[in-house]
Amino acid sequence: MTIAAALLLVLVFGLVVFDWFSLRGKNRRAILLELFVFLAGAAFIAFPERATSLAHLVGIGRGVDFLLYPTVIWLVRESLLSRRRRVEDQERLTHVVRALAIARAEEIPPR
């Protein structure tokens, strides 16, 4: 195992442990999903030749590319969806704040 692979494994398990304890029992199912994905990632880090043979099976040259291509596509999509959700949330917040402001608007009486 290379030094880089060892460091990546430490990072992966460190993140899982941190999330497990920092969330203190909340979102257990999400943590289990994270654990599953990270374990799969750890397996490819520890045994990179497995990723390469899988890549060859589908006509991709390197194992890292086999993992990178879908990951980048997924991240770009996730980024766009998340920005769209932010825009929608901002519009909802604006709508609520404005409705409240208009409902409470008052003319200042003469003094």
Q: How many CB atoms lie within 10 A of CB 67?
A: 19
User: Which three-class secondary structure state does DSSP give residue 74?
Assistant: helix
Q: Note whether 26 binds another protein by CB under 8 A.
A: no
Phi and psi at residue 96, in whole multiples of 5°?
Answer: -65, -45
Question: How far is the C-alpha of 111 from the C-alpha of 34, rounded, in Å?
Answer: 64
Buried residues in 2-21 as b, exposed as e (16+ CB within 10 A): eeeeeebbeebeeebeeeee
Does 83 bind another protein (CB under 8 A)? Our answer is yes
**Candidate residues 3, 4, 58, 108; the one interacting with another protein per rule CB under 8 A:** 108
Binding pattern for the stretch 39-58 against another protein, x by CB under 8 A and - elsewhere: --------------------
Task: Count interface residues toward another protein (CB under 8 A).
Answer: 23
| Minimum separation from the CB atom of position 75 to another protein (A) | 17
- Kindly list the residues in this chain that would bind another protein in the complex (CB under 8 A): 80, 83-84, 87-88, 90-94, 97-98, 100-102, 104-111
